[in-house]
Amino acid sequence: MPERILVVVCDGLGDRPVSGFGNRTPLQAAARPALNFLARNGACGILDIIAPGVRPGSDTAHLALFGHDPFKVYTGRGPFEAMGVGMEVRPGDVAFRCNFSTVDDRLNIVDRRAGRIREGTAELARALDGWEFEGVEVHFKEGTEHRGVLLLRAPGLSSLVSDPDPHQEGVRPHECEPKAPEAALTARVVNAFVKRSTEVLRDHPVNRARRRAGERPANIVLPRGAGIMPHIPTFRERFGMKCAAIAGVALVKGICRVSGMEVIDVKGATGGLDTDIEAKLRAALKALESNDLVFVNIKAADLCGHDGDPNGKVKVAKRIDRAMSLVKKALPEGAILALTSDHSTPCCVKDHTGDPVPLVIYGKGVRADRVRTFDEIACAEGGLGRLRGVDLLPVLMDLAGRAEKFGA
Amino acid sequence: MPERILVVVCDGLGDRPVSGFGNRTPLQAAARPALNFLARNGACGILDIIAPGVRPGSDTAHLALFGHDPFKVYTGRGPFEAMGVGMEVRPGDVAFRCNFSTVDDRLNIVDRRAGRIREGTAELARALDGWEFEGVEVHFKEGTEHRGVLLLRAPGLSSLVSDPDPHQEGVRPHECEPKAPEAALTARVVNAFVKRSTEVLRDHPVNRARRRAGERPANIVLPRGAGIMPHIPTFRERFGMKCAAIAGVALVKGICRVSGMEVIDVKGATGGLDTDIEAKLRAALKALESNDLVFVNIKAADLCGHDGDPNGKVKVAKRIDRAMSLVKKALPEGAILALTSDHSTPCCVKDHTGDPVPLVIYGKGVRADRVRTFDEIACAEGGLGRLRGVDLLPVLMDLAGRAEKFGA
């Protein structure tokens, strides 16, 4: 009988030795009886999420963990930026990273970041969102600070267009040019959108207020970095599996959705440092009753890594451990549990690195090895050896009795 | 801040157990306190330079260590043979391995190796070098014994031509035939060169002397194995890094040069068994002051392997160890050091084998593991696990804070 699979990804948990911790990693420095129980009774290893030394983004990391080769499916940041700001993205959509910028009366760019505008971009974005041009749906949403995302939806669009954003100030925006004949429509829509942004934004109340306050108006949108959303086959298409996901961060939620997972919202699961880890894992156990695979992303450790806060990461590791003691007790008979990370975010680097992440697989039929603790160093001696992110799902599918035989 | 990287490659250091050493490898049999210090305080692993069980050449090994997939960039031996004899090779150059051979008056091949000629080939080669035909520069240089290299340089050459060398005796040389229309010029030049070799060499003083001594004249050059030099992006193009290399052997120097490294000549660094290892490493540390990455190849252990001399290899390992104790002390704060080998050259095989080689990475942020000694067996238990040659550079770049994130 096929068994259920629970995958817990502790975002950014992997780290490097911290001198203040006697050269232990934050994970090594944290009391972690539940994680160590899993290590003692499970099979351990380390994962290169993308490939050795390659620094994963949150998007490429989760594509790999869901069994997609990111070198094949990751065609550009645009569509993933769109997911990151919470837009729905469908295969064939073309999306652009954008800046709110400031131009003068002659359309010369005065400031590519519109005085680093922070307030009011949601209202500006709403004024631009939901347009149509030559049959193409045009969506726009603000990001953080001066950033935004332009998303175009219609059959037959192409991402082979040049950037209107000239990537410098003192010049006018470039015409968006098609780099291939099939991109002509896309380029026309982008040019029309840039022109429309100047018309809509010029006298928008937010900009009138900015002028009065002596601030630069956000009176144009400059798109760049076109990307087309690839068709990513869903878990149901690939394996006939019903899958659910619990994640706090918009980008991860978006990748779960395009992978065909039902994204379950959990009260208190914010994606922030204060996220309620126990609530997430309780919800995951609940979801496992009606799903073949449940995926959980716990963001908090990554935030400590980006903040360079090893003490905070130790605390998060302890909280994860306490929450996992619940899972350990309540895991359904026969189910396969994997606990790992999507990338290292060492506190000394304050960003994602290519260091491999620890992995433990626990459950029925797993070949337990001699690893006694769950951490970056000990797991490297485990029975799973050194695997890649794309390998994890097939290994779990096989243990769960869900893999197809290749050959006769 | 990006850190500096020092890569020390002990050519052919990897070996197999030697029965006379109680089934230890030469490396295990050598006192090596400095190497063991690195192992104790660094992360260890083993490297399949190309892929498991694949026997690397010096050329393919160094391509892989510099992060190029040799299966993609290694299109033929010709250009690398040219580097091996010290010729400058540029992208687009077409090069052939050649034999000095003996033909009779009717051009029938009497001896493909011209009586295994050893002396005088430099003079013969000089007589053939530096010609031009239909706008193609023609270079020729002698190799060891009866061997030589023909190198053609012009825009639009192709390596898709057949071998003039018929690979047998008693027949006439083959016409060089183009295997594709774009190879017509290349074939014409090769045929003209072979004809010219008979004219130039027939009455050359070296051959007159050989005839007088009853030896077969080297009166024709037979090219084979055309290869075109691929464009190999330089370290600067790929990573914006300034790199230097120290190596004694022409082939390795050549690959360093096409990879965009400045090749530094060190007094006493011969590439022979008597090479001054300390001088090389001192020069490397000096070069590290003004470069982002410095690569050092120490050839001596490989020579012992080819000679089947395990005692010699033990001595070389001790000399490497003493020189590395210098490096250990003088390594700049924050720098990342890797020490490995480009392939195994077991004394019992007297040639390169596919056995993996030991690897240690030492420096800031490295996850030290439990390996206590640097050798082929102990490193296999290390925290780096089993990697491939092409993975080494990305792993080092990541540790040095020089890797780009893939994704967002």
What tens digit of pLDDT does each residue of A279-333 get?
A: 999 999 999 999 999 999 999 999 999 999 999 999 999 999 999 999 999 999 9
pTM to 2 decimals? 0.91
From residue A344, alpha-carbon distances to A48, A111, A213, B385 in Å are 10, 35, 43, 17
Q: pLDDT at residue A4 above 90?
A: yes
Is A132 an interface residue toward B (CB < 8 Å)? no
> A148-159: per-residue pLDDT in tens?
999 999 999 999
Report the relative pairing of strands B43-48 and B405-406 from DSSP bridges. unpaired
Check CB contact under 8 Å for B367 and A52. Answer: no
pLDDT of residue B249: 87
Which residues, including other chains, have CB under 8 Å from residue B181's CB and lie 6 or more apart? none
pLDDT of residue A77: 82
Set of chain A residues whose Cβ sits within 8 Å of the Cβ of B365 = 16-17, 346, 348-349
Domains located in chain B, CATH noted: 5-73+233-399 (3.40.720.10), 79-228 (no CATH)
Give me the residue from B387, B395, B407 closest to A57, CB to CB: B407
Give the mean pLDDT of B287-305. 97
Strands (E) across A57-130 are located at 94-103, 109-111
Report the relative pairing of strands A147-153 and A136-142 from DSSP bridges. antiparallel
Give the mean pLDDT of A45-52. 98
> A120-143: per-residue pLDDT in tens?
999 999 999 999 999 999 999 999
Report the relative pairing of strands B136-142 and B131-133 from DSSP bridges. antiparallel
Structure tokens at B258: 């096409």
> A198-249: per-residue pLDDT in tens?
999 999 999 999 999 999 999 999 999 899 998 899 999 999 999 999 998 8
Query: Are the C-beta atoms of residues A358 and A340 closer than 8 Å to each other?
Result: yes
Query: Are the C-beta atoms of residues A276 and A269 closer than 8 Å to each other?
Result: yes
The residue whose two tokens read 């011969």 is B270
Q: pLDDT at residue A377 above 80?
A: yes
pLDDT of residue A144: 86
- Which of B150, B180, B44 shows the shortest CA–CA distance to B87? B150
Question: Rounded to a whole number, what is the distance in Å from the CA of A49 to chain B's nearest CA?
Answer: 11
> B261-271: per-residue pLDDT in tens?
999 999 887 77
More confident residue, A80 or B109: B109
The residue whose two tokens read 């002396």 is B119
Q: pLDDT at residue B357 above 80?
A: yes
Report the relative pairing of strands B5-10 and B293-298 from DSSP bridges. parallel
- Which of B58, B39, B56, B57 shows the shortest CA–CA distance to B48? B56
- Which of A253, A257, A243 shows the shortest CA–CA distance to A290? A243
pLDDT of residue B36: 98
Which residues, including other chains, have CB under 8 Å from residue B130's CB and lie 6 or more apart? B138, B139
pLDDT of residue B70: 93
Is A58 an interface residue toward B (CB < 8 Å)? yes
Q: pLDDT at residue A392 above 80?
A: yes
pLDDT of residue B117: 95
- Rounded to 10 deg, the angle between the B205-212 and B121-128 helix axes is 140
Give the mean pLDDT of A375-391. 98
Check CB contact under 8 Å for B395 and A52. Answer: yes
Q: pLDDT at residue B202 above 90?
A: yes
R_g over Cα of chain B: 23
CA distance A359 to A69: 19
Query: Are the C-beta atoms of residues B237 and B114 closer than 8 Å to each other?
Result: no
> B234-262: per-residue pLDDT in tens?
999 999 999 999 998 888 999 999 999 99
Check CB contact under 8 Å for B387 and A386. Answer: yes
Q: pLDDT at residue B282 above 80?
A: yes
Q: What is the percent of chain A with per-residue pLDDT over 90, rounded to a whole number? A: 91
Set of chain A residues whose Cβ sits within 8 Å of the Cβ of B394 = 51-54, 354
> A159-186: per-residue pLDDT in tens?
999 999 999 999 999 999 999 999 999 9
pLDDT of residue B76: 79
Is B381 an interface residue toward A (CB < 8 Å)? yes
ipTM for the whole complex: 0.89
Is A62 an interface residue toward B (CB < 8 Å)? no
Is A81 an interface residue toward B (CB < 8 Å)? yes
Structure tokens at B268: 């006493």
Is A55 an interface residue toward B (CB < 8 Å)? yes
Question: Rounded to a whole number, what is the distance in Å from the CA of B362 to chain A's nearest CA?
Answer: 13
The residue whose two tokens read 């919800």 is A283
Query: Are the C-beta atoms of residues A65 and A127 closer than 8 Å to each other?
Result: no
Set of chain B residues whose Cβ sits within 8 Å of the Cβ of A55 = 398, 403-406
In chain A, the residue whose alpha carbon lies closest to the alpha carbon of B381 is: A381
